[in-house]
Structure 1
Amino acid sequence: MKKLIILFGLLLYVLSPIQPVQAEEDYGNLFISVGDAMMKTKADDWKAVETLVAQLNEDWEQVDQAKSKEAKKVDKTLLEVNKALDKQEKEPMLTALSNLSHALVSFEKEQNPVDEEEQRLQVKSAFTPVLADLKTAIENKDAKSAYTQYQKFLTTWNRNESIVREQSIGYYGKIETQMGFLRIALLQEEKDFDQIQGIYNELAGAVNGFVSGKEIKASNDHYSLQTLIDLLGKANESVDNNQPKKAVPFLQEFLTVWPSVEGDVRTRNGGLYTKLESDIPVIAGKLSSGTDVKEQQEKINEYRQSIELLQAKKSYTMWDAALIMLREGLEALLIVAALIAFLRKANASQHQKWIWFGALAGILMSIVAAIFINMAFSAATAGANREAIEGVTGIIAVVMMIGVGVWLHQKSNMKSWNRYIQKQMGTALSTGSIVSMAFVSFLSIFREGAETIIFYMGMAPSISTGKLIAGIVLSLVILTVFAFLFIRYSAKISVGPFFKIATILIYFLAFKILGVSIHALQLTDHISTTQIHSLPIISWIGFYPTWETMIPQAVLLVIILLTAMWIRNKENKQ
């Protein structure tokens, strides 16, 4: 029996065509990054563009470019993209990305040659009988049969649309648009078969044009997610004015725009992509017939807010970046200044250098920690979703901020601050060791440096490099001024007001980062989204109207309130 099995296996090996062949290279990630970069450029989201282009450069370096003539063209166009990114001008950037897309298509065809004519023949054989049956149903004015044939067309399209999309974005968009129009027309209670026939002619013409290999240019209009939001808003206004039929043209225009922006929706929220593609024609059809108008309006508003949440920039300003460094630096600076002031009062100014040495060591160790955390961060997130990592990191930062805020709140009382400083000084000087004083300075700087790194990790994905650097530079300038004032006039300046202001700022930033971080996790479907349609999006404070973001933010506010009450009671007892 064993010999029979072995013999059977050898026979299968000889007869079957399983000789190893080199698998086709997949360059889908490159095309996705280019498409996303074009969408973000249209939306002026240059931070996202910068990230996507960096990913493009990295992915392209991993591609085997040996013995490729087309690879040099990709190198050239990618260089154009990087130069255009430096200038951050929309039109040159879009042109450079379009050139890169064409170069990548040529490179992919060179590396993975396919018979496009054979693919078009495949599309022709698949659609010819379906189009013929659909035409017959429409000519017979058989609404039920026409819709059944449309469903068959849709099924056939889902199986073949990737071929059309890869060969011609122009035909892909035209076919998708006419399919949407046809579905709207077939869903109307009173069917206008002249209109349906016209839509069918456009649809069949698009399919036949693609099959014949005719060229068609894609639309150059710079559509974005905001275009979809505006169109849904206009449709909603028409329904509000008791003119639901006037909303239909806006929804039809939505379908015209859709092929140009669907990639941005699909890559960020697959569920929403599927709903929009299938439901918008249904909504338009029912509004044109005056059916379930209120229900359709609710869906329009729901989808408009969903796209707004998708588009909402999870961004921070230069001032947000400055506040992080300023608050952390201010705390460390106060401790160092207090140490120096204490030495001066003790007539031991000659030992100040050890405090500065400790501070310098703290800075150096913070840099080492930054490098280590960055390496660990990169390793942990290789291949993972950046939005999800941003959300998790941001929540960690918020937890740390709560602790920092409580500490600041406690020290905002002058007596509490003096007790804290005396305790720190006493520990350092009671040992009689200058090293212990330097160690206090080192720990204060290193602790703040490490916290700053964690905070910036949560913020970095949602702020441009320029704003981040500007915020840090601004905070360093302010800290330099404070350092001079604290060290020169340390005995006269009250630190209480500074800590109170810093407490308010850190709590505000914690509220914002919490909302932004949960929103990032919602975009990646790691957390569900339950919208509250009556409330607006206020992205500058991190407020997104969903129960999943509002409840944690409410809990944070309760924690802040209870902390304030606890500290006040504690101060009253003391």
Structure 2
Amino acid sequence: MKKTLLLFCLLLYVLSPMQFAQAEEDYRELFISVGDAMMKTKADDWVAVEELVAQLNEDWKQIDQSKSVEAKNVTQMLKQMNKNMGKHDKELMLAALSDVSHALVAFEKEQNPVDEEALRNELRLALTPILVDLQVAIEAENVEEVQAQYKKFLAMWNRKESIVREQSIAYYGKIETQTGFLRIALTKDEKEFGQIQTIYAALSGAVGEFVSGKELQVESQDHSLQTLVDLLEHAELAIKKKQPIDAVPVLQEFLTVWPSVEGEVRTRNGGLYTKLENDIPIIAGKLSSTGVNVEEQLTKINEYKKSIELLQKKTSYTMWDAALVMLREGLEALLIVTALIAFLRKANATDQQKWIWLGAFAGVIMSIIAALLMNNLFSTATAGANREVIEGMTGIIAVVMMIGVGVWLHQKSNMQAWNRYIQKQLGSALSTGSIVSMAFISFLSIFREGAETIIFYMGMAPSMSTGKLLSGIAVAVVILIIVAFLFIRYSTKISVGPFFKIATLLIYFLAFKILGVSIHALQLTNYFSTTQLYSLPIVNLIGFYPTWETILPQLALLIIILITALWIEKRNRSSRKPPMSL
């Protein structure tokens, strides 16, 4: 009984909060955000940079900074980074992010003291015996033993590489690159031991310099996922020109670039990360050999190129996309308001127009208030969440609404249908003779369209810069003002049918695009799987991504649009038929 009690007390001590207090804090997400922001800055993808910076600021707020001296420095560097954000100056932003990174490193070391020398010694003890055996096998030109020792080295490196990555990105990149080169050399059918010895010397030297504590500066290079895509395209071109051997140095350059951008691939698609790291050296090695199936290697390169392209988060909406939403939503409200104005003019009550404009102004104000409330709710509900998930979810909601909008527009493209609609809208005002009623109709038409516009822009905003969004809205407002003037002045002469037909086509196009972009965003966060169709291209302009998960919903959308169009046209033809005489 005493032994049991003693063991129980010992267990309580081991599991006590005091023991847990010794556990290291994990700041990995902060470093990932900084690294990704650097990659996106180099690629001039300022929309993504803004998202990552916002996420970084939010994550930093959640960190306990009460017992830290270095935390003040991190906060200061973040403030400087935020100031530079709006300038869209690549060099300035990269310098600010670098300062944040160094401040975070100092903060992490303060919070989680690490004996770096002990870790380097651990790496030395793990790798040195294997490297010695590998050198002996290379000098003996024993192919089987060289490959066996290389596999041992690779297995141990995969277990210990974090030691190097966390202390020196420069050495990590150098060792990773030479490891890839060695794999290429060992994959060749005709082994060149002079080349293998040269690669081994560079690899062993890099490991030795790191464990001895020698400093190595990181070379400043503007590498991004697009760099990998470009290199694979060059390799493809060499193979298509019947010169596969020229693709080998290009793939070697791919391996040189890889360590600086692999983090972005790893965080977005772990499976692709593993395949690229393992297969690119093998492909290069096979292309260096005779009698290899070149077409098979070309197919693999093409597939990997398209897989990396799918990972890239480009600005998916243009200024004109933003303008289209405002135009579509503003057009309906505008037509109703101008119809009310035209009615007052015909009734010789032009002095009462101010009430219509007052109702419209109130609708605009309420729309702005609703936008602010929804934005606040949106931000609170999704604090710390992935912005791509938000974009995907709101985008799909917007698409569902757009289908209804498209149907409404299509129905009103018939002049008789439009006249019936206007008569219905004015009915309550005419029957009561109340100007207040007309003002209320004006208010509701503006407010309803404003609320819909907010939903659409919530789905689009994460994928476009603030400047493009505001520019699109400004362009739409100018066009709407011109259209309003023309409608009010020439309301009896203008046919609204063509306006609605064009708007219908544009809104269906935008729904198709938003659906593709939204599902793709969810694929990037692994909420949806990705079954790629390598034979089809990526067309960002229309939101087309060659995966079954995006194509099937878009195909379903097109079918819904087609069925709806046929149904509306059939109904319109029936309404135009004269009644049968008895």
Is 1:183 equivalent to 2:183 in the alignment?
yes
How far 1:376 moved relative to its partner?
A: 3.7
Is 1:216 equivalent to 2:216 in the alignment?
yes
Distance change in 2, residues 1:421/1:11 (3 Å): closer
Whole-angstrom CA distance in 2 between matches of 1:498 and 1:149: 72
Compare 379-388 and 301-310 and name the one that shifted more: 379-388
Compare 4-13 and 48-57 and name the one that shifted more: 4-13
How far 1:11 moved relative to its partner?
A: 4.7
3-state SS of paired residue (1:19): helix
How far 1:125 moved relative to its partner?
A: 1.2
The residue identity in structure 2 corresponding to 1:555 is A
- Aligned pairs (5 A) from 1:61-100: 61-66=61-66, 68-100=68-100
CA contact (8 A) 2:48 2:313 kept: no
Q: State the number of aligned residues.
A: 573
Distance change in 2, residues 1:560/1:100 (3 Å): same
Compare 113-122 and 89-98 and name the one that shifted more: 89-98
Distance change in 2, residues 1:374/1:14 (3 Å): closer
Whole-angstrom CA distance in 1 between matches of 2:561 and 2:513: 14
How far 1:475 moved relative to its partner?
A: 1.3
The residue identity in structure 2 corresponding to 1:504 is L
Residue of structure 2 equivalent to 1:508? 509
Q: RMSD over aligned Cα, in angstroms?
A: 2.3
The residue identity in structure 2 corresponding to 1:29 is E
Residue of structure 2 equivalent to 1:166? 166
Distance change in 2, residues 1:570/1:174 (3 Å): same
Taking structure 2 as the reference length, the TM-score comes to 0.92
CA contact (8 A) 1:171 1:206 kept: yes
How far 1:453 moved relative to its partner?
A: 0.8
Residue of structure 2 equivalent to 1:196? 196
Is 1:460 equivalent to 2:467 in the alignment?
no
Residue of structure 1 equivalent to 2:275? 275
CA contact (8 A) 1:314 1:516 kept: no
Residue of structure 2 equivalent to 1:395? 396
Whole-angstrom CA distance in 2 between matches of 1:86 and 1:162: 34
How far 1:97 moved relative to its partner?
A: 1.7
CA contact (8 A) 1:312 1:539 kept: no
CA contact (8 A) 1:336 1:355 kept: yes
Whole-angstrom CA distance in 2 between matches of 1:79 and 1:29: 19
Residue of structure 2 equivalent to 1:119? 119
How far 1:503 moved relative to its partner?
A: 1.4
Residue of structure 2 equivalent to 1:367? 368
Residue of structure 2 equivalent to 1:241? 241
Residue of structure 1 equivalent to 2:53? 53
The residue identity in structure 1 corresponding to 2:303 is E
3-state SS of paired residue (1:289): coil
Residue of structure 2 equivalent to 1:206? 206
How far 1:289 moved relative to its partner?
A: 1.7
Whole-angstrom CA distance in 2 between matches of 1:70 and 1:528: 41
Taking structure 1 as the reference length, the TM-score comes to 0.94
Whole-angstrom CA distance in 2 between matches of 1:19 and 1:257: 44
How far 1:558 moved relative to its partner?
A: 2.7
Is 1:131 equivalent to 2:134 in the alignment?
no
Residue of structure 2 equivalent to 1:447? 448
Residue of structure 2 equivalent to 1:490? 491
Distance change in 2, residues 1:241/1:116 (3 Å): same
Q: What are the superposed Cα offsets for residues 62-113 of structure 1, whole Å, 9 maximum, x if unpaired?
A: 4344464433433443343233322212222222222221222122222322
CA contact (8 A) 2:51 2:387 kept: no
How far 1:117 moved relative to its partner?
A: 0.8
Whole-angstrom CA distance in 2 between matches of 1:516 and 1:137: 52
Whole-angstrom CA distance in 2 between matches of 1:11 and 1:303: 54
Whole-angstrom CA distance in 2 between matches of 1:49 and 1:4: 60
CA contact (8 A) 1:401 1:510 kept: yes
Whole-angstrom CA distance in 1 between matches of 2:548 and 2:18: 56
CA contact (8 A) 2:355 2:436 kept: yes
3-state SS of paired residue (2:97): helix
Residue of structure 2 equivalent to 1:322? 323
The residue identity in structure 2 corresponding to 1:331 is E
Q: Mark the runs of 5 or more structure 1 residues left unpaired by the alignment.
A: none
Compare 282-291 and 212-221 and name the one that shifted more: 282-291
Residue of structure 1 equivalent to 2:578? none
CA contact (8 A) 2:55 2:384 kept: no
The residue identity in structure 2 corresponding to 1:556 is L
How far 1:280 moved relative to its partner?
A: 0.7
Distance change in 2, residues 1:125/1:392 (3 Å): same
Residue of structure 2 equivalent to 1:9? 8
Whole-angstrom CA distance in 2 between matches of 1:269 and 1:428: 59
Distance change in 2, residues 1:349/1:99 (3 Å): same
The residue identity in structure 2 corresponding to 1:178 is Q
How far 1:4 moved relative to its partner?
A: 6.8
Compare 306-315 and 459-468 and name the one that shifted more: 306-315
Whole-angstrom CA distance in 2 between matches of 1:352 and 1:209: 82
Compare 506-515 and 368-377 and name the one that shifted more: 368-377
The residue identity in structure 2 corresponding to 1:239 is I
Whole-angstrom CA distance in 2 between matches of 1:205 and 1:326: 64
CA contact (8 A) 1:531 1:545 kept: yes
Distance change in 2, residues 1:179/1:411 (3 Å): same
Residue of structure 1 equivalent to 2:107? 107
Distance change in 2, residues 1:222/1:415 (3 Å): same
Whole-angstrom CA distance in 2 between matches of 1:231 and 1:15: 53
Compare 556-565 and 155-164 and name the one that shifted more: 556-565
The residue identity in structure 2 corresponding to 1:161 is E
How far 1:128 moved relative to its partner?
A: 1.6
